[in-house]
Amino acid sequence: MTIKMTMIIMLIVLLILTTISYLLQIEQFSAKPLLLQKEKIFTLSSGANQYSLKIFLKKEHLVSSHIDQLSQLVTLEPKLALIKAGTYRLTPGMTIRDLLLLLVSGKEAQFPIRLAEGSTLKECLNSLAQAPYLKHSQQECIKLKNLLEGNFYPDTYLYTSSTFDSEILDRAQLRMETFLKKIWHERDKHLPYTSPNSLLIMASLIEKETSIKKEKARIASVFINRLRIGMKLQSDPSVIYGINKDYHRGITRKDLAVPTPYNTYFINGLPPTPIAIPSQSSIEAAAHPEKSNYFYFVSDRNGGHIFSTNLINHNQAVQKYRKQRKI
């Protein structure tokens, strides 16, 4: 073998070794964990590229060194350059490659928001207004305010930073419509409801009257019994809703004397709309009330209620309640 040939072979070997070393360095760089002690939310703006990504990583001190190797990694693997704008969740243990793959996938961070049973539309709108990364629209807010009370299924909904507040309520409204339609078809026969909405109104009253699941069907029976004989429902939560008062402050005789469409001490039958978002258990109780002879109930001061079939027993229960309240 000539000296020239030997030199060529040595150069080839050197080139191979250099290439392998280079590739190993890039691979080691891509496998480095980001310097994260806790979860971090990161927004990649529209039009961002690897250059702006490098600036972010450097500014946030997420990479210890050799940040320029990011360009080399992307050059070797062009698919990693196809990053998408969005808001992402970075977690401890995530490597640089994991980060790039996440940005390429476009799988944005999801945030939870709870539409709680028993909450009003006003309370839901306040929660939506305070939710992070949720988009808001003046025109959509007008639409939201025109929606009926209580027509949303209570649950925790996930959204991304590209979601509008109205989309959350649209999803919740569709779920409630679907669930209510099912319950309406399965309801007990001969109940004094004229429509699925009237069942929903009843469920909202039950929801605000008790949080004890096993009591709900009995509460429903009281209201159903009253409706059947044309007796006023006399539901305090409905009165409170009508005067737009804080439910937790209780009710006074003065409140009961305020004539509103929701004052069930004045009006006959159900109020015009639900007074809150009813839970699934309250809707089921409205659709399948207990069969009873009860026409009255009052708090027992322990979270539950005392039920009575006649006014004499009810007044005795009320007096007992008032005495306990003074103690």
Residue range 166-190, pLDDT digits in tens: 899 889 999 999 999 999 999 999 9
Residue 264 domain-assigned (yes or no)? yes
Last residue of a domain, which of 51, 86, 109? Answer: 109
Residue 42 domain-assigned (yes or no)? yes
Any idea which residue has 């070794």 for tokens? Answer: 17
The Cβ of residue 55 has, within 10 Å, a number of other Cβ atoms equal to 12
Pick from 42-46, 252-256, 295-299 the range whose average pLDDT is largest.
295-299
What is the reported pTM? 0.82
Report the pLDDT value the prediction gives residue 154, as an integer from 0 to 100. 97
% of the chain with per-residue pLDDT over 90: 50
Q: Which range marks the domain in which residue 209 is found?
A: 187-326
State the pLDDT confidence band at 276, using cuts at 50, 70 and 90.
Answer: very high
Report the pLDDT value the prediction gives residue 78, as an integer from 0 to 100. 85
CATH of residue 89's domain is 3.30.1490.480
Report the pLDDT value the prediction gives residue 137, as an integer from 0 to 100. 76
> How many domains is the chain partitioned into structurally?
3
For 113-125, letters b (16+ CB in 10 Å) and e give bebebbbbbeebb
Residue 197 domain-assigned (yes or no)? yes
Q: Are residues 105 and 115 in the same domain?
A: no
Q: Are residues 202 and 300 in the same domain?
A: yes
Report the pLDDT value the prediction gives residue 308, as an integer from 0 to 100. 93
Q: Please write the tens of the pLDDT for every residue from 192-202.
A: 999 999 999 99
% of the chain with per-residue pLDDT over 70: 87
Find the range with the poorest average confidence among 3-17, 195-209, 228-242, 284-298: 3-17
Q: Are residues 81 and 100 in the same domain?
A: yes
* 68-72 average pLDDT score: 78
Left (φ > 0), alpha (ψ -120 to 50) or beta: where does 87 sit? beta
Nearest to 234 by CA among 212, 256, 261: 256
Residue 252 φ then ψ, to 5°:
-120, 170
Q: Are residues 211 and 313 in the same domain?
A: yes
Q: Report whether 207 contacts 281 (CB < 8 A).
A: no
- Asked if residue 100 has pLDDT above 60, the reply is yes
Residue 56 domain-assigned (yes or no)? yes
Residue 149 domain-assigned (yes or no)? yes
Contacts of 307 (CB under 8 A, 6+ apart): 218, 222, 292, 294, 296, 297
**What kind and span of H or E run contains 113?**
strand 111-115
Q: Report whether 306 contacts 300 (CB < 8 A).
A: yes
Find the range with the poorest average confidence among 71-80, 212-221, 281-290, 304-313: 71-80
Q: Are residues 258 and 305 in the same domain?
A: yes
- Asked if residue 53 has pLDDT above 70, the reply is yes
- Asked if residue 322 has pLDDT above 80, the reply is no
As a whole number of angstroms, the distance between CA 123 and CA 275 comes to: 12
State the pLDDT confidence band at 13, using cuts at 50, 70 and 90.
Answer: low
State the pLDDT confidence band at 131, using cuts at 50, 70 and 90.
Answer: very high
- Asked if residue 74 has pLDDT above 90, the reply is no
- Asked if residue 250 has pLDDT above 90, the reply is no
State the pLDDT confidence band at 221, using cuts at 50, 70 and 90.
Answer: very high
Q: Are residues 195 and 274 in the same domain?
A: yes
Q: Are residues 93 and 122 in the same domain?
A: no
Last residue of a domain, which of 132, 157, 176? Answer: 176
Q: Report whether 301 contacts 290 (CB < 8 A).
A: no
* 74-93 average pLDDT score: 87
Q: Please write the tens of the pLDDT for every residue from 299-316.
A: 887 788 989 999 988 888
And the tokens for 307?
């039920």
Residue 283 domain-assigned (yes or no)? yes
The amino acid sitting at 45 is S
Report the pLDDT value the prediction gives residue 257, as an integer from 0 to 100. 85
Report the pLDDT value the prediction gives residue 69, as an integer from 0 to 100. 78
State the pLDDT confidence band at 191, using cuts at 50, 70 and 90.
Answer: very high
Residue 166 domain-assigned (yes or no)? yes
